[in-house]
Amino acid sequence: MNDDRDPWLRTYFINRLAALDRERTSYWSTWKDLAQHFAPRRGRFLVSANDFARGRRKDQRLIDNTPLLAARVMASGMMAGISSPARPWFRLRLVDDRANDAPGARAWLDEVQKRMLHVFAKSNLYNCLHTLYGELGVFGTAALWVDEDDEDVVRGYTLTSGEYWLASSRRLAVDTLYRTMWWTVRQIVDTFGRDAVSAGIRANYDNGQLDLEYEIVHAIEPNPNAQPPEVRGGANLWNGTVANRLPFRSVWFERGQQGEKSLLRVSGYSEFPCMAPRWDVTGSDTWGSGPGWIALGDAQQLQVQQRRKVEAIDKQVKPPMVGPPSLRNEPATLLPGGITYVADPSGQTFRPAIEVRVDLSHLGADIAETQNRIKQAFYADLFLMMAESDRREITAREIDERHEEKMLMLGPVLERLHDELLDPLVSRVFAIMNRNRMLPEPPPAVAAAGVQVEFISMLASAQKAAATSAIERFWQFGAQIGAVKPEALDRLDADGTMDAYADMTGVPASVLVDLRQAMAARQARQQAQAQEAQMQKTMALVHGAKTASQIDVGGGMNAVQALLGTGPG
């Protein structure tokens, strides 16, 4: 909803966009080089809609595609190892650890996790994450926009380098995003309505010019007028109502358009809808760097090496030739089987101008070394360590050690992704589902405790492998000591070990029986065993008495009568 503050707001957003653009300018040339060598179809380094050559090939300068393949392997490996759709990769826990053992808490958390994973699978978020990992590895910074959707609950939009701007808070966390989009007249009118657009777009729409493109800016940043939820009320409009007081404000406007319809839409968000992970950040920088920055020099060198190799082969196969002046303007051929007629063949033949004898094996070895450095920069050797291994005999222990080695290399990056991408993403989806009443009613113990995210992906679990291995080795050691000193086994807590191991490996609550139920089952089993033992003892006494009654001890008495001191009859 527009109001009398629209012109001032638009001026503010235009000025801040210009300031963010000045900060981003220093990264522009590097991003273009990165896109050229690692992701030719990525990046929007354009000025106007006329520069969009969407169908034109952008990889003409690439001779060796090793950089592209390395980036692709890294994106696929991170997708499979961090957020694979084939297995659960996160679980929910209560902030208060004691509340996790409350009746019904674990079952409720497991049900919420199940429903959230279903929403992830139904939406396009997994496709967005795969694209985002590739963008992150090449440019060092990526951005994912997650919004509510009427059909799939949530909808993700992966932005590409060059079409968005970022800014950080005092905590150096990204909390501001500006992005530009070239939308057609039809898309703009369908999104904002005919009455909200400028006169030029409205005229084109009325004249049927639906495919003309305009640049639209979407800005979202912390709202200086934000107020607590209990003060916001129930409306969802801009002018003095809820949207004006939400934690983040969202503004859409046409870039370069002045006049009456200066803002297309002003609204707000309860949480920051954008995840902007960085691979590595230097100091207080907003933009990050990644494997692409490390391998850029090698990628450039590789293309030069391949060109020199092709030139060397070309000069050997088809060298420059010299011939006598008498053959000038005469028909001549260098094709296999061709004949060139000369008056005096002796001394007047074609011959190579230079003799090229290049040992291509040395150049090939240098190229292979450069290719390996690019693969190492993108961790392709780690993600493909099983596929590229030429060993046929490998132990399970060696596989575990290689996984730990992978985590040693990717551990810091994984922690940053958890903090800047996955944790906000899961929290955002949880909040959207909660607002749409798609979560089960929580038990009383859960309602009073906050929910937090814990990651159980393959790579996250590999980080915990050291702790679980320590538990296994400790029990093996305890069993060895217990064989000599049985009292040492009293130091091993089986129930505590089961709880700790299940917690580290992310076992669902339905797999592990509650401790109270286990104690009740043990007590019932002990009572049954005691009753059975008493029954067996009684039966043994009865059997002994019967046997004794059949033993004649003389004097007409059996053993029972003699024991009791009673006479016969």
In one-letter notation, the amino acid at residue 193 is G
**Residue 317 belongs to what H/E stretch?**
helix 291-317
pLDDT band at 554 (very low <50, low <70, confident <90, very high): low
The number of beta carbons lying within 10 Å of the beta carbon of residue 17 is 17
267: CB partners within 8 A, 6+ apart: 236, 238, 243, 249, 250
Domain membership flag for residue 530: yes
3-class DSSP state of 64 = coil
Domain membership flag for residue 345: no
Domain membership flag for residue 223: no
CA angle in degrees (0–180, nearest 5) for 372-415-394: 50
Domain membership flag for residue 424: no
Give pTM, 2 decimals.
0.78
Domain membership flag for residue 280: no
- Range 427-431 average pLDDT: 95
Q: How many CA atoms are closer than 13 Å to the CA of 308, on its beta-carbon side? A: 14
Q: Is the pLDDT of residue 231 over 90?
A: no
Q: Is the pLDDT of residue 31 over 90?
A: yes
Q: Which residues of 405-439 are buried (b: 16+ CB within 10 A; e: fewer)?
A: ebbeebeebbebbbebbbbbbbbbbbebbeeeeee
Looking at residue 111, its pLDDT comes to 92
Tokens of 348: 């007047």
| Bridge partners (DSSP) listed for residue 455 | 90
Residue range(s) defining the domain that contains residue 534: 523-564
**342 compared with 206, residue with greater pLDDT:** 206
Looking at residue 179, its pLDDT comes to 94
- Range 92-106 average pLDDT: 82
Q: Is the pLDDT of residue 374 over 70?
A: yes
**Mean model confidence pLDDT for the chain:** 81
| Bridge partners (DSSP) listed for residue 148 | 154
Indicate the range of 112-121, 236-245, 548-557 predicted with least confidence: 236-245
Domain membership flag for residue 65: no
**226 compared with 406, residue with greater pLDDT:** 226
Residues 314-332 have pLDDT tens digits of 888 777 777 777 667 767 7
How many structural domains comprise the chain? 1
Looking at residue 388, its pLDDT comes to 56
Indicate the range of 125-134, 286-295, 321-330, 386-395 predicted with least confidence: 386-395
Looking at residue 478, its pLDDT comes to 78
Looking at residue 439, its pLDDT comes to 92
Looking at residue 237, its pLDDT comes to 39
Indicate the range of 51-55, 271-275, 514-518 predicted with least confidence: 51-55
**348 compared with 308, residue with greater pLDDT:** 308
CA torsion angle 375 378 381 382 (round to 10):
170
Looking at residue 565, its pLDDT comes to 63
Looking at residue 410, its pLDDT comes to 80
Looking at residue 229, its pLDDT comes to 63
CB 440 within 8 A of CB 104: no
**Residue 252 belongs to what H/E stretch?**
strand 248-254
CB 271 within 8 A of CB 196: no
Round to whole Å and give the CA distance between 354 and 336: 20
Q: Is the pLDDT of residue 221 over 60?
A: yes
pLDDT band at 234 (very low <50, low <70, confident <90, very high): very low
- Range 182-196 average pLDDT: 92
pLDDT band at 2 (very low <50, low <70, confident <90, very high): very low
Residues 120-171 have pLDDT tens digits of 999 999 999 999 999 999 999 999 999 999 999 999 999 999 999 999 999 9
Looking at residue 3, its pLDDT comes to 46
The number of beta carbons lying within 10 Å of the beta carbon of residue 458 is 17
Looking at residue 348, its pLDDT comes to 58
Domain membership flag for residue 553: yes
Q: Is the pLDDT of residue 7 over 80?
A: no
* Most trustworthy range by pLDDT among 192-196, 290-294, 402-406: 290-294
Looking at residue 345, its pLDDT comes to 58
CB 502 within 8 A of CB 446: no
Phi then psi dihedrals of residue 91, to 5 deg: -145, 165
Domain membership flag for residue 534: yes
- Range 382-397 average pLDDT: 61
